[in-house]
């Protein structure tokens, strides 16, 4: 496995792989790798010949007061995990490499970025889109892999790639969960034992929403209220940022649940902001 810290080294390695006829799969990460990231790497390995992983804690997607300074870092462990999973190249750039002094360009996907997490994290998705666009230009992958836990991010990146004519296929992969249902996340490491126990209620609340929708497709407001009650009972220390039922493509709130909908939520435990979601289609059962 190679590691690279410069854009020139990444481009040279990828060009060599492509010259030999290899397809390139790309998994962008902030670091702090866990089972969810590993599932993306494994998915890339199944369909691509040459796998690139980036480890870059991107400052532009963190708002002032968020957890940039304490975000878990374990580069040595991340590199060992990548090597174990057959990654070919890991790109570990510095902030100075990714953002030259005086840069004036920002990539924004309007409308989609304003929903869900965008309402409480202004500037987050422009930061995501800008760094992902830069990484796509550097790595030039054939396929890029994103997890469904960050459903909104995947929708936004897909639209950005289409609008800007990036020749890359965006592949989304299922949420990977702990045994009790909690979606795997680097931020789970922030949780104390009691909050870790309560956090499992997020998945349980989403399962309740799915059962309600499949059983009788009630109004979205009823589903939201039921989810909020479940969270209040089972995760009393969690501060609900949002619980929403939205269209799976536009990410806009819906009133009914008779078609495919996304039930999404964000809950914070003492500084650990967790997100989770489920796509439910009442027509499938």
The active-site residue, picked from 34, 37, 195, 203, is 37
How far is it, in rounded angstroms, from Cα 18 to Cα 12?
A: 10
CA angle 276-277-282, nearest 5°? 160
Structure tokens at 247: 């269209």
Sheet holding 89-91, edge to edge: 2-4, 89-91, 50-55, 24-29, 143-147, 169-173
Read off the DSSP letter of residue 253. Answer: B
102 Rama class: left (phi>0) / alpha (psi -120 to 50) / beta: left
Bridge partners, 272 (sequence order) = 269
Provide the Cα torsion 196, 246, 209, 175; round to 10°. Answer: -50
Read off the DSSP letter of residue 80. Answer: H
List the one residue out of 138, 140, 132, 145 whose CA is nearest residue 42. Answer: 145
> Whose structure tokens read 């949002």?
242
Active site residue 34: no
Q: Where are the alpha helices (DSSP H) in the chain?
A: 7-19, 35-47, 75-84, 95-98, 117-120, 124-139, 151-163, 193-199, 201-216, 220-234
Catalytic residue numbers read: 37
């Amino acid at each position: 496995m190679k590691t690279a810290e410069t854009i020139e080294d990444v481009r040279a390695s990828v060009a060599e792989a492509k010259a030999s006829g290899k397809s390139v799969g790309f998994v962008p990460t902030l670091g702090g790798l866990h089972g969810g990231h590993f599932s993306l790497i494994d998915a890339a390995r199944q369909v691509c010949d040459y796998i690139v992983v980036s480890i870059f804690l991107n400052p532009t997607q963190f708002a002032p007061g968020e957890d940039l300074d304490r975000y878990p870092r374990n580069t040595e462990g991340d590199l060992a995990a990548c090597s174990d999973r057959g990654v070919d190249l890991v790109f570990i750039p510095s902030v100075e490499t990714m953002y030259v002094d005086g840069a004036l360009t920002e990539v924004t996907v309007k409308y989609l970025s304003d929903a869900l997490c965008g309402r409480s994290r202004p500037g987050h998705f422009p930061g995501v889109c800008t760094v992902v666009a830069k990484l796509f230009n550097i790595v030039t992958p054939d396929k890029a892999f994103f997890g469904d836990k960050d459903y909104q991010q995947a929708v936004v990146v897909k639209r950005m790639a289409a609008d800007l004519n990036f020749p890359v296929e965006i592949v989304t992969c299922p949420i990977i969960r702990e045994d009790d249902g909690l979606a795997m996340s680097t931020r789970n490491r922030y949780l104390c034992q009691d909050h870790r126990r309560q956090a499992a209620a997020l998945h349980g609340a989403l399962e309740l929403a799915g059962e309600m929708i499949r059983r009788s497709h009630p109004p979205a407001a009823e589903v939201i209220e039921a989810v909020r009650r479940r969270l209040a009972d089972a995760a009393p220390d969690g501060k609900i940022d949002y619980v929403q039922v939205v269209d799976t493509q536009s990410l806009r709130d819906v009133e009914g649940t008779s078609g495919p909908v996304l039930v999404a939520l964000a809950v914070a435990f003492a500084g650990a902001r967790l997100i989770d979601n489920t796509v439910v289609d009442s027509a499938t059962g």
